[in-house]
Amino acid sequence: MRKAALLSSVLFLGVAVGFSKPVFMDEEYAKGLCEAWNNTPELVDKLGNSSSFTKVPERKLFLYREDCGDEKLIQLTIKNENGKSMCVYGGKAKDERTGDDFLMYADTSRWMEMGRKEYGPMKAMMFGRLKFEGPKWVAMRNMGPFEAFLDIIDAVDSDTSKCP
């Protein structure tokens, strides 16, 4: 009986402490998004072979939920490793943005619509659903991978009901 009670307590503690979903666009979510990137051939292979994207050794993508405020910025760092564009960091923003990097932000509902493939990046930007700053020529030349990135935005099971 004592073992069963102890096991129940441990299981309850594990559920209460360690098994909750990350909040959409928090540090844990960014780690998962980095993993999703590395498991998406359209991003890893096509961007790795894109001379416009790999022109610099490293690019950073900064993202946030507009309805939660820009102070909760996350960052993905993408490096060219042997012809593959690999995500080597996903977490809270730790670097300054340069002219080679991208900033993207949208309301939570718009991020989810893009993740569900309701529309692509061109429509999202044309209608102001996705705000975008960065080297536009690079983005335009890599529209397929850019769309693949937006498609995985909901790949990490996360809680969208609260802000990070």
pLDDT per residue, tens digit, the chain (164 aa), is 443 443 333 344 444 455 689 999 999 999 999 999 999 999 999 888 888 888 888 999 999 999 999 999 999 999 999 999 999 999 999 999 999 999 999 999 999 999 999 988 889 988 999 999 999 899 888 888 999 999 999 999 999 999 99
Return the pLDDT at 8: 39
Domain ranges of the chain: 22-151
Return the pLDDT at 18: 56
Interatomic CA distance for residues 20 and 161, integer angstroms: 13
Backbone angles phi, psi at 43, to 5 degrees: -85, -50
0.95 surpassed by pTM: no
* Class (C level, CATH) for 22-151: alpha beta
Question: What DSSP letter does each residue of the chain carry, written as one string?
Answer: -HHHHHHHHHHHHHHHHT-PPPBTTSHHHHHHHHHHHHT-HIIIIIHHT-TTTTTSSEEEEEEEEGGG-TTS-EEEEEEEETTEEEEEEEEE--S---TT-EEEEE-HHHHHHHHTTSS-HHHHHHTTSSEEES-HHHHHHTHHHHHHHHHTTT-S--B-SS--
Return the pLDDT at 10: 39
Tokens of 33: 């998004």
Interatomic CA distance for residues 124 and 120, integer angstroms: 6
Return the pLDDT at 15: 45
Return the pLDDT at 19: 66
